[in-house]
Amino acid sequence: MFDFIFRLLKTKKDDMTFWEHADILRRHIIQAVFAVLLFSVIAFFYKRFIFDTVILAPSQSSFITYRVLCKLSGLLNVPDLCIKVIPLQLINTEIGGQFSYHILVSVIVGIIFAFPFIVYQFWRFLKPALTAKEIKYSRGIVFYISSLFIIGVLFGYYLISPLTICFLASYELSPLIKNYITINSYISTISVLSFSMGLVFELPVLVFFLSKIGLLTTAFLKKQRKIAIVAILLIAGFITPSTDMFTQLVVSLPLYMLYELSINISKRS
């Protein structure tokens, strides 16, 4: 780790100061921010599509995830798997709330679409510090990081988010208490879960680099496999709306496969 940082500071020109390196990093960051702003502005003008078709879709029983689960419930004869009603009423409690959330969601969409370019900019900054062998091993890294992030976001949006929303919206302490969910709470739930899964799906990349610098070993990952399985099942059990094992497996299986992929990557690195 320290060897890499030292090589990073020694790249480009030996007589470059710390602030000159910082200036190069600043240029890459500015380009990444510009890309985010560009996509955010584009997203801002597609308000109806982004909110009605994307953001608010998981709050409707017609959402594709709920329809697929209902079909599976019929095939597998598991009635609890079918979600027909989402007891969710969204409200806005601030005078400028809807405009603020419009801007917030536009920025979030901008970050997601600009993510590959953001990764590419940081890769351009780090690449001069790598040796020829390290560059060879990390070939296609921008594609892999971006792809895993997008897949994770889609997994969080199409599976984790709707199941979580359905569970939390239908959970009640008493029939006398009615749920009126603010748009802020709803958007935060969607964005946090989707982004979190995007980052979780970066686990193979993280394992690859930690294995390369010797901080993580295949033996350690294999030893912690049982603990990882229990943790994955607990997470799946918490966010799934029903108590049947099938729904929990639908959520936990991709996460477990991700863990096994990380073990395989650690072995090869």
d(CA 22, CA 198): 28
E strand or H helix at 181: strand 181-182
Could you tell me the pLDDT band of residue 2, with boundaries at 50, 70 and 90? very low
Res. 1: pLDDT tops 50: no
Name the pLDDT band for 77 (thresholds 50, 70, 90): confident
Spatial separation of the C-alpha atoms in residues 108 and 114, rounded to whole Å: 10
Average pLDDT over residues 113-140: 82
Q: What DSSP character marks residue 182?
A: E
Average pLDDT over residues 122-146: 80
Of the candidate ranges 107-121, 133-147, 207-221, the one whose mean pLDDT is the lowest: 207-221
**Per-residue confidence at 17, pLDDT binned at 50, 70, 90?**
low
Least Cα distance to 141 among 218, 204, 196 occurs for 204
What average pLDDT does the chain have? 81
User: Would the pLDDT of 131 be above 80?
Assistant: no
- H/E element holding 91? strand 90-91
Lowest mean per-residue pLDDT among 21-25, 101-105, 146-150, 236-240: 236-240
3-state secondary structure of 85: coil
pLDDT of 251 above 60: yes
Angle between helix 97-126 and helix 141-155 axes, rounded to 10 deg: 150
Q: What is the pLDDT of residue 208?
A: 78
* Distance, C-alpha 146 to centroid of its chain: 11
Residue 150 has a pLDDT of: 94
Q: How confident is the model at residue 57 (pLDDT cuts 50, 70, 90)?
A: very high
Please compute the mean of the pLDDT values over residues 227-235 and round it to a whole number: 80
pLDDT of 245 > 70? The answer is no
